Amino acid sequence: MPLWDWNYAFDILPDLLLALVTTIEITLLGSVVALLLGLVIAILRRAHIPVLDQVLWGFVEFVRSTPLLVQIFFLFFVLPQFGITLSAFVVGVFALGVHYATYTSEVYRAGIDAIPKGQWEAATALSLPRSRTWTGVILPQAIPRVLPALGNYVISMFKEVPLLLAIGVIEVVNAAREIGSVTFRYVEPYTIAGLLFLLLSYPASMLVRRLERRRVAA
């Protein structure tokens, strides 16, 4: 039996591509959660509301200090005991999104803290409403500064989606595993799965590096 069978590889490719769509969907939806929730956390912590700031600090540190897989298991296996049952897909999106929101919140905070103090003082001198200060002055300057770092976290999230095979999500690595368990040929499915990740993550990383170089040049 040959080590690599091209006919077999082409036969299983459609199933792996279909699973890749699921991987991309989870990544995109998880990224939306991570980017929006991270921004909300950063803004709320910037407000220095005494009790809330401590709660958010504790939440961020707790999530960042515990393994993502444990968080996935908690949401999928423990929450149903409290009457909250979520599908594996939803758990994947929520777990990845919240986990990475704790990292993106720190990225946002760094970008916000890098805004010169004079910008805040100018907004105050012009009597701009708080919401207008954020949306018209601070965030348009802070977010472009941190886009490369945010992009790196999105790529990292994409590569961590395979953790969801532990709760039965048919993403591309789980699909490769199931195909291999049926045919007892693992070289082709796992190799193709790895190449699919490479074909998407490498160009994305190149784009992030280009953005970073452009930011430095600016």
Domain locations in the chain? Answer: 6-217
154: pLDDT strictly greater than 90: yes
d(CA 18, CA 22): 7
* Cα separation values, 150 from 47, 94, 104, 137, 154, Å: 22, 18, 6, 20, 6
CA atoms within 13 A on the CB side of 116: 3
Backbone φ/ψ region at 48: left (φ over 0), alpha (ψ -120 to 50), beta: left
d(CA 24, CA 34): 15
Average pLDDT of span 65-72: 96
pLDDT, tens digit, for every residue of 181-195?
998 999 999 999 999
Average pLDDT of span 53-63: 95
Around Cβ 206, how many Cβ atoms within 10 Å? Answer: 10
Residue 218 has what pLDDT? 59
- List the single range of 16-20, 86-90, 141-145 with lowest mean pLDDT: 141-145
Residue 216 has what pLDDT? 65
Q: Could you tell me if 26 and 182 are in contact, meaning their C-beta atoms sit under 8 angstroms apart? A: no
* Cα separation values, 86 from 70, 78, 82, Å: 16, 11, 12
pLDDT, tens digit, for every residue of 84-115?
999 999 999 999 999 999 999 999 999 999 88
User: Mean of the per-residue pLDDT values for the chain?
Assistant: 93
- CATH code linked to domain 6-217: 1.10.3720.10
1: pLDDT strictly greater than 80: no
Q: Could you tell me if 196 and 14 are in contact, meaning their C-beta atoms sit under 8 angstroms apart? A: no
Residue 129 has what pLDDT? 87
d(CA 81, CA 58): 25
Average pLDDT of span 143-164: 94
Amino acid at 216: V
Residue % of the chain over a pLDDT of 70: 98
126: pLDDT strictly greater than 80: yes
* Dihedral sign for Cα atoms in the order 62, 67, 71, 74: negative
Q: Could you tell me if 150 and 35 are in contact, meaning their C-beta atoms sit under 8 angstroms apart? A: yes
Confidence of residue 125 (pLDDT cuts 50, 70, 90): confident
